[in-house]
Amino acid sequence: MEAERAGKAPGFSVLFVCMGNICRSPTAEGVFRSLVRERAPGLDVEIDSAGTHDYHVGDPPDRRSIDAAARRGIDLRGLRARVVEEADFERFDLILAMDRLNHATLLDRSPVRYQDRVRLFLEFAAADTLEVPDPYYGGAPGFDEVLDLVEEASQGLLAHLLQIKRPRQA
């Protein structure tokens, strides 16, 4: 995060991706930012989110995502939806899809040399599923379930990054 502000390339970069970038992926971005800030403040990592479709470009996250995250102390209000761009495949070390459909879409769009960067986010969790369900058409419990899964996977992702990257010394 410090690298972004300084205008230099970060030590590592992660892009979270769902379909519209208003529910799952901004939740993952917010949760992971918060976790890194709390548990590994010296870790030099760029964190972003995007959607595979341009339905909501420029919009803030869904109000229900904002509210569910806020109940857990995570602020998503400053985030805005964007669509995955071709340059993202080179820019990000990990591109983490929320479900198999978005994973397949990303693989279809990715240059072959970057396809190994595209993974399912829940590969980093001990969950019984590899997909974060889309809560958009449901009620509040779906947004809480997303947060539960995202929090678990974020802990696994942070552990993975800490194994391969050492935090900068102050």
Q: Is 24 a catalytic residue?
A: yes
Q: Which of 5, 39, 134, 144 is catalytic?
A: 134
Q: Is 33 a catalytic residue?
A: no
**C-alpha to C-alpha distance for 147 and 137, rounded to whole angstroms:** 16
Q: Which of 18, 48, 88, 117 is catalytic?
A: 18
Strand, helix or coil for residue 48: strand
Q: Which of 24, 64, 82, 117 is catalytic?
A: 24
The DSSP line for 115-153 is GGGEEEGGGGS--S-S-PPP-TTS-HHHHHHHHHHHHHH
**How far does CA 41 lie from the centroid of its chain?**
18
**C-alpha to C-alpha distance for 59 and 85, rounded to whole angstroms:** 17
Q: Is 18 a catalytic residue?
A: yes
The set of catalytic residues is: 18, 24, 134
